[in-house]
């Protein structure tokens, strides 16, 4: 996935503090990329993990409205489950492909 550096998110000045609107904009942008980039095999685990971390950070901001904070917390937990599920699926598929590769390369027993 290529990153468009001309996106306004990357042009915003960094002033050291938290900007909830910018963080919310970023996480929505990431979520749309996850959805657009997902195929039948599922989405990118790394992207899902970044989305989960953004949502968790947003939920912890004291200046965020309580309803947004609660929503971000709930969504963070749901994205954590997506990451966990995809990691386990990858581990299973990697294990199965290693076994299949060994079976193909093993000499035939006579």
How much is the pLDDT for 2? 57
pLDDT surpasses 80 at 17:
no
Q: DSSP E strands: which ranges in the chain? A: none
Tokens of 90: 């990858």
Between 109 and 104, name the one with better pLDDT.
104
Q: Which residue has the higher pLDDT, 51 or 96?
A: 51
> Mean of the pLDDT values across residues 7-35?
72
Distance of CA 54 to the CA centre of its chain: 9
How high is the mean pLDDT of the chain?
77
Give the predicted TM-score (pTM) of the model: 0.61
Beta bridge partners of residue 42, listed in sequence order: 39
Domain ranges of the chain: 20-34+41-105
Residue 35 has a pLDDT of 72
39 phi and psi angles, rounded to 5 deg: -125, -165
């Amino acid at each position: 996935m290529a990153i468009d550096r001309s996106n306004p998110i990357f042009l915003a000045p960094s002033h050291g503090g938290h900007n909830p609107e910018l963080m919310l904009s970023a996480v929505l942008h990431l979520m749309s990329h996850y959805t657009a980039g997902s195929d039948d095999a599922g989405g990118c685990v790394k992207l899902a993990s970044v989305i989960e971390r953004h949502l968790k950070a947003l939920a912890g901001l004291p200046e965020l409205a309580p309803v947004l904070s609660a929503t971000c917390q709930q969504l963070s937990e749901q994205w954590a489950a997506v990451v966990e599920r995809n990691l386990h699926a990858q581990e299973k598929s990697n294990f199965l492909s290693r076994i299949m590769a060994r079976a193909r390369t093993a000499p035939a027993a006579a």
